[in-house]
Chains A and B, each alone.
Chain A
Amino acid sequence: MVPWAIEIVQAALVLALAPGLVGVVRWLKARLQSRRGAPPWQPYYELRKLFGKEVVVSSNASWLFRLAPYVVFASTAAAACLVPSLAVGRPLDAVGDLLVVVYLLLLGTVFLSLAGLDPGSAFGGMGSSREMTVAALAEPTVALAIFALALSAGSTNLGQIVGRTLTDPAAALSPGHLFAFAALFVVMLAETGRLPVDNPATHLELTMIHEAMVLEYSGRYLALIEWAAALKLLVFFALLGNLFLPWGVAVAATPVALTLALGSLLLKLAVIAVVVAVLETRVAKLRLFRVPELLSVSFVLALLAVTSSFLAR
C-alpha cells in the first residue's frame, strides 16, 4: 500500500510544482534583467483564469484539435510519473525506463504538432514543422546520452541508474557522466522551448516554435497545454538533477528520507532554474537554421560521453 501512496504523492507533487517552476524561472529572469517581474506563483493565476474561460475553436479544426490537449497532458503526466523525482525502488520503476519517458514526451510533441496543423493557419504549420524538426534532431542525442548512462549502470532503468551513482559516487564526476549531462542539458533547452532555441516569452510569429503551434488554443485547452509544457520542463529538470546528482533521492520509504528527498528536489530544481535563467539572460536566440548546429554540438557531446564511458571501463 505504502509504495503506491508514494507514487500518488509524487505524481500530485510534480503536477502541483510544475507551474511554480515556470514562474520561478520567469521571476529569476526578470530580476536578472533588473525588472520587478511577476511573482513566481503567477502561472497558477494564469491557469485558473484559463480554466475559467470559454474555448474558441477554429471552424476548420477537427476532433483531433480537441483531443490533443488531453493526450499532450496525459502523456506528459505519465512520463512525469515514471521519473524518480522523490524516490527510487518504486513499483512504477519497472513499468517504463528512460526510453519510455522520452517516447512518451515525443507522443505529446507529435499530437501538439498535429493540432498545430489542424486549424489550417500558416503559423500553426510553421510551428509544427519547426517543432518536429527540432524534436527529430534532438532524438539521437537523447538516445546516445541514455546509452552513455546505461553503459555505467548496465541498464536504462531509471532506478538502477540512480542507484548505481549512489553506490559509486565517483561515477558522478566521470567524463562520461559530465558529457552526457551537458548533452542532455542542450536537449532540454531545445525540447522545452527555451532560449537559444525558442523564446518562451515572445509572441513574434516568425521567430517562435511552441507559441506558434498553440496559437489557436484558448481557455481550458490552452490551460492543459501550458500545464503540460510546465510539467515537461519539470520532468527534464528532475531528470537532470536526479540522474546525474542523485543524492537526496529517497531509497527507503521512511518519512525522513522522503522529506529529505523533497528538500533536495526543490534545491536541485532551484539551482537548475537559476542556471537556465542566467543562460537565457546571457544568450540571444539563434537563427532557426543554426539550431541544428547547436543540436549537432549536443550530439557530439553525447558521442563523446559514450566514447569516454567506453574508455572508463
Chain B
Amino acid sequence: MTLETTACVLAYMVLAYLGGAVAALLPLRPDLTRALSAAAAIGGAVAGIVLAARVLIGGAPFALTVPALLSVGGGLALRLDTLGAFFLILVGVVAAPAALYGAGYSRAYTGRYSLRWLGAMLNLFLLTMSVVTLADNVLTFVLAWEAMSLASYFLVMTEHERADTVAAGGWYLAMTHVGLALILSAFLLLVPPSGGGSFAELRGMAVTLSPSLRGVVFVLAVLGFGSKAGLVPLHVWLPRAHPAAPSHVSALMSGVMVKLGVYGILRVALDLLGVGPAWWGALLIGLGAASALVGVLYALMEDDLKRLLAYSSVENVGLIFIGVGAGLLFTSLREPAAAALALAAALYHALNHAVFKGLLFLGAGAVAHATGTRDMNRLGGLVRRLPWTAACFLVGALAIGGLPPFNGFVSEWLLFQSLLPAIGSSAPLVAPVMTLAVGALALTAGLAAAAFVKAFGITFLALPRSVEAREAHEATATMRASMVVLAALCALLGLGAAFVLPALGGIVAGYAGLPRVVPPLTAGALLLPPGGGASMSPSLVAIGLLLAMGAAWVAVRVGAARGLRVSDTWGCGRIGQTPRMEYTSTAYAEPLRRVFAELYRPTEDLTIDVHPESRYFVQSIAYRSEIVPWFERYVYGPLVRRVAAVAGRTRAIQSGSAHAYLAYLVVALLALLAISLAWSG
C-alpha cells in the first residue's frame, strides 16, 4: 500500500517535470509559458521532497525497476535510500524557490531569448538531477548524469550572444565530459565480468577487487565527480559557467548540481566500495582544504558579484570535502562515532550551502536585474532602493560567513568538532593532516567573512557608484518571496540545529563502517558531539543575542539622550561627498591582495599624466591591475596550447575531400579487422 503511494509520488514528480517541459514548449503567450513552467517545476520539487521525506521517515529504501526501458543495460533501475533521499531533498529545497524566482526574473528575457527553451530545459534539468539521486544501476546513473550536464549546458548558454557566455559554455562542456569519462571508467572497473550493472552487483564486485584497483576506482571517482563539484584543480569551469547562466539557474547549479558531485563520491566511496584505507580520507581532506583556500582567495579578489559567489562555491565544496574526508578517514580508523559526526557535518554544510548560496545567487540576480550590471565597482547604495533584497542578502552573507546564529556557523562548528577526535588517534599522519585542516578551515572562515563583508558592503551600502545603481528598482513579488523563503530557511536551519542534526546522523547510519544506530548527537537544545565534552546551542545563543540586544535597546531608550541629527559624512572639511571618494571593491581587497601577492601575482600598470609645466600637477592617473588565476596560467594554459598544437598537426589529414575520408574509413576498418584477427588467432 505505502509502496504504491510512494510510487505514485514518484510518478507525480516525473510527470510534473516532464509536463512542465512539454508545456513550456507549447506555443503559448510568454507570460503563460513562464507561469506554467515555474508551476510545474515547483510541483515536481514538492513531490520530490515528499518522496524523500517518506523514505527518510519510513527508513526503508524504495526501489522500482522498469526492465523494459533501456533493456540493454539492465533496464531503468530506481532506488531511493536515505543518502539519495537527502540529496533529493536538497534538489527540492532550492528548486522550488528558484523556479518561483525564475518566473519573475525571466520576464526581462521576453523577446530577447527563448523562454520556451529556458522553461523546458529548467524542468529537464530538475528532473535529471532528481533521477541521479534515484539511479540504482550504472546505465540509469550515467544517462541521467549526462542529461543533467547537457541540460545545464543549454541553460548556461541562455544568453548565447555574449562572448563570455560562449567561452564559459566551452569550458563547461569540455570539463564535464572529461569528468564523465573518468566516472565511466570508475564504474566500468566495478562492473562484474558477467555484465550486470546494478549497484548491488557493483557492491559485490568491489569486495573482490584488489586494494590497489579499489584505490584506482576511488581516485577516478574523486576526479570525475570532483570535476562536477568544482574541486581544485578541476574547478576552472565553475567560476565561468555558473555566473553566465540566468541567476535562478546559477542558484541551482551552485546550490544543488555541485552537491551531486559530493553525492557521487559518497555513493562510490561509502556505499559501493565500502571501507577504504586511510589515504582516501587524507586525499579528500587535502583536496578539500586546497579548494577551500583557493576558492575563498579568488572570491575575495573578484569584482563581479556572481563570480564571487561562484568562487565561494568552490570554497564551500572544499569545506564539505574536508568533512567527507574526515568521515572516510575515521571509518578506516574504525572510529564510527567520529565518522558519523564528520559525515553528518559535511551533509549539514551541503544542505546549508545549498540554501544560502541559492539565496545569494537569487539576491545577486535581483541586483543584476535591477541595475543591469554585476560589477560591484558600479554598484552601491542599493540598500535604500532594494530593501528586501538587501535584507535577504545580508542574512545569506552572515550565514555563509559562518556567523552565529545562522546555519553556516552551525555546520562550520560541527566541522571543527569533527576534526577534534583525531587528537586521540595514534595513526601516522593523522595528526599533521588534521592540524593543517583546522588551520585551513579557520583561515577560510575568516577570509569568507571578509569576502562577504565586501560583497554586501560594496554592493548595498554607501552611495551608488553609477547611474544604474542610483535608479535601481526592487525585485518583483515572486522574486522577493523566494528570497524570503530561503532567508528564513537559513535562520531555521541554524536555530533548529538540534532537530536537523539527529536526522542527518540517521542518514549516514548503516553505510560502510558506520553503526546502524548513530549515537544521538544532541541533548535537548544542545548539540553534543560524541566523545568530547564540547557542546553548543545555536538557539540559546540566538536567544542570548536577542536578549542582550533588547536589553541594550531598552536601556538606551530609557537612560540615554534621544536627540538625532542627520548631517553630511565627515570629509576632512570638504563639503559634498561623491561616490568617487568611497572605497571600491578592488580597494577593499587591496590589503589581502598584498598579503597573498605571491599567490595572486597581480600585474600592475600605472600611468600618471602630469602637467607639462610641472610634474607636481597630476592630470590623470590610470591604474590597471589584473589577476590571472594560478591554475589557468600554469596548468590549463599550457595544456590548452598543447592540445591546440596537436590539433593543428592533425589538420594535415583534413583535406576536405570526401574520397580521402572514405579512404580513412576503409583503412581504419581494415586495421581493426587485422587486429581482431591477430587477437583471436
Direct contact of A and B (CB under 8 A): yes
Task: Return the chain B residue nearest A65 by Cβ.
Answer: B461
Task: Return the chain B residue nearest A134 by Cβ.
Answer: B591
| Chain B residues in 8 Å Cβ range of A107 | 398, 403-404
Complex CA distance for A292 and B401, rounded to whole angstroms: 21
Whether A121 contacts B541 by the Cβ 8 Å rule is no
A247 within 8 A of B: no
A54 within 8 A of B: yes
Task: Return the chain B residue nearest A143 by Cβ.
Answer: B442
Whether B534 contacts A120 by the Cβ 8 Å rule is no
Complex CA distance for A25 and B570, rounded to whole angstroms: 30
| Chain B residues in 8 Å Cβ range of A136 | 443, 446-447, 449-450, 592
Whether B383 contacts A135 by the Cβ 8 Å rule is no
Contact A122 B581, CB 8 Å, known A62-B461, A70-B552, A133-B450: yes
- The contact of A71 among B447, B458, B549, by CB within 8 Å, is B549
Task: Mark the stretch among A27-35, A37-45, A212-220 that contacts chain B.
Answer: A212-220
Contact with A along B434-456 (1 / 0, CB 8 A): 01001111110111011001101
Whether B463 contacts A60 by the Cβ 8 Å rule is yes
Q: What's the nearest-Cβ distance from chain A to residue B382, in Å?
A: 10
Whether A95 contacts B541 by the Cβ 8 Å rule is yes
Task: Return the chain A residue nearest B531 by Cβ.
Answer: A154
Contact A156 B561, CB 8 Å, known A120-B581, A139-B446, A143-B438: no
- The contact of B537 among A54, A95, A99, A117, by CB within 8 Å, is A95
Task: Return the chain A residue nearest B383 by Cβ.
Answer: A62
Task: Return the chain B residue nearest A133 by Cβ.
Answer: B591
Whether A54 contacts B561 by the Cβ 8 Å rule is yes
Task: Return the chain B residue nearest A91 by Cβ.
Answer: B540
Whether A143 contacts B439 by the Cβ 8 Å rule is yes
- The contact of B566 among A57, A126, A150, by CB within 8 Å, is A57
Complex CA distance for A94 and B533, rounded to whole angstroms: 9
Contact with B along A124-155 (1 / 0, CB 8 A): 11101110110111111011100100110011
Q: What's the nearest-Cβ distance from chain A to residue B462, in Å?
A: 3
Contact A70 B583, CB 8 Å, known A56-B565, A143-B416: no
B457 within 8 A of A: yes
Whether A52 contacts B453 by the Cβ 8 Å rule is no
Complex CA distance for A62 and B461, rounded to whole angstroms: 7
Whether A57 contacts B565 by the Cβ 8 Å rule is yes
Task: Return the chain B residue nearest A147 by Cβ.
Answer: B438
Complex CA distance for A231 and B347, rounded to whole angstroms: 36
Whether A144 contacts B438 by the Cβ 8 Å rule is yes
Whether B533 contacts A155 by the Cβ 8 Å rule is yes
Contact A128 B457, CB 8 Å, known A133-B592, A288-B591: yes
Task: Return the chain A residue nearest B423 by Cβ.
Answer: A151
A281 within 8 A of B: no
B409 within 8 A of A: yes
Task: Mark the stretch among A72-80, A165-173, A194-202 that contacts chain B.
Answer: A72-80
CB neighbors of B among A285-313 (8 A):
288-289, 292, 299, 303, 306-307, 310
| Chain B residues in 8 Å Cβ range of A144 | 435, 438-439, 442
B420 within 8 A of A: yes
B589 within 8 A of A: yes
| Chain B residues in 8 Å Cβ range of A70 | 549, 552-553
- The contact of A289 among B526, B533, B594, by CB within 8 Å, is B594
Contact with A along B118-150 (1 / 0, CB 8 A): 000000000000000000000000000000000
| Chain B residues in 8 Å Cβ range of A135 | 446, 449-450
B544 within 8 A of A: yes
Residue among A117, A144, A310 facing the most chain B CB atoms (10 A cut-off): A117
B571 within 8 A of A: yes
Task: Return the chain B residue nearest A154 by Cβ.
Answer: B532
Whether A292 contacts B461 by the Cβ 8 Å rule is no
| Chain B residues in 8 Å Cβ range of A289 | 591, 594-595
Q: What's the nearest-Cβ distance from chain B to residue A283, in Å?
A: 21
Residue among A58, A132, A303 facing the most chain B CB atoms (10 A cut-off): A132
Contact with A along B369-405 (1 / 0, CB 8 A): 0000000000011011000000000100010011110
A260 within 8 A of B: no
Contact A117 B462, CB 8 Å, known A73-B552, A94-B537: yes
Q: What's the nearest-Cβ distance from chain B to residue A252, in Å?
A: 19
Complex CA distance for A200 and B595, rounded to whole angstroms: 23
Q: What's the nearest-Cβ distance from chain A to residue B394, in Å?
A: 8
- The contact of A95 among B413, B463, B544, by CB within 8 Å, is B544
Q: What's the nearest-Cβ distance from chain A to residue B332, in Å?
A: 20
| Chain A residues in 8 Å Cβ range of B587 | 125, 129
| Chain A residues in 8 Å Cβ range of B674 | none
A264 within 8 A of B: no
Task: Return the chain A residue nearest B524 by Cβ.
Answer: A94
Contact A219 B435, CB 8 Å, known A95-B544, A119-B462: no
| Chain A residues in 8 Å Cβ range of B449 | 106, 109-110, 132, 135-136
Whether A126 contacts B583 by the Cβ 8 Å rule is yes
B620 within 8 A of A: no
A-side interface mostly: helix
Q: What's the nearest-Cβ distance from chain B to residue A115, in Å?
A: 9
Task: Return the chain B residue nearest A75 by Cβ.
Answer: B545
| Chain A residues in 8 Å Cβ range of B413 | 99-100, 103
- The contact of B564 among A55, A119, A138, A307, by CB within 8 Å, is A55
Complex CA distance for A160 and B533, rounded to whole angstroms: 7
| Chain B residues in 8 Å Cβ range of A106 | 403, 446, 449
- The contact of A125 among B442, B559, B582, by CB within 8 Å, is B582
Whether B404 contacts A104 by the Cβ 8 Å rule is yes
Whether A303 contacts B462 by the Cβ 8 Å rule is no
Complex CA distance for A100 and B542, rounded to whole angstroms: 11
Whether B581 contacts A219 by the Cβ 8 Å rule is no
| Chain A residues in 8 Å Cβ range of B57 | none
Whether B544 contacts A57 by the Cβ 8 Å rule is no
Task: Return the chain B residue nearest A63 by Cβ.
Answer: B383
Whether B579 contacts A110 by the Cβ 8 Å rule is no
CB neighbors of A among B526-569 (8 A):
526, 532-537, 540-541, 544-546, 548-549, 552-553, 556, 559-569
Q: What's the nearest-Cβ distance from chain A to residue B1, in Å?
A: 45
Whether B453 contacts A113 by the Cβ 8 Å rule is yes
Whether A140 contacts B442 by the Cβ 8 Å rule is yes
Task: Return the chain B residue nearest A227 by Cβ.
Answer: B552
Whether A157 contacts B441 by the Cβ 8 Å rule is no
Whether B567 contacts A56 by the Cβ 8 Å rule is yes
Whether B541 contacts A73 by the Cβ 8 Å rule is no
Q: What's the nearest-Cβ distance from chain B to residue A48, in Å?
A: 10
A118 within 8 A of B: yes
Q: What's the nearest-Cβ distance from chain B to residue A213, in Å?
A: 11
Q: What's the nearest-Cβ distance from chain A to residue B449, in Å?
A: 6
B31 within 8 A of A: no
Whether A51 contacts B581 by the Cβ 8 Å rule is no
| Chain A residues in 8 Å Cβ range of B534 | 97, 150, 155-157, 160
B87 within 8 A of A: no
Whether A58 contacts B450 by the Cβ 8 Å rule is no
Complex CA distance for A54 and B556, rounded to whole angstroms: 12
B417 within 8 A of A: yes
Complex CA distance for A103 and B661, rounded to whole angstroms: 66
A53 within 8 A of B: yes
| Chain B residues in 8 Å Cβ range of A133 | 450, 591-592, 595
- The contact of B453 among A128, A140, A292, by CB within 8 Å, is A128
A258 within 8 A of B: no
- Further contacts, 4 of them, CB under 8 A, given A70-B553, A73-B552: A51-B556, A60-B462, A121-B581, A139-B442
* List of 9 A-B pairs having minimum Cβ-Cβ separation, nearest first: A125-B583, A54-B563, A139-B446, A143-B442, A120-B462, A136-B446, A74-B548, A117-B457, A132-B450
Q: 11 pairs across A/B with beta carbons < 8 Å?
A: A54-B565, A74-B545, A78-B544, A99-B416, A100-B541, A114-B461, A129-B588, A155-B420, A157-B535, A224-B556, A288-B591
Q: Which residues of A contact B (CB under 8 A)?
A: 51-64, 70-71, 73-75, 77-78, 81, 94-97, 99-100, 103-104, 106-107, 109-110, 113-114, 117-122, 124-126, 128-130, 132-133, 135-140, 142-144, 147, 150-151, 154-157, 160, 205, 215-216, 219-220, 223-224, 288-289, 292, 299, 303, 306-307, 310
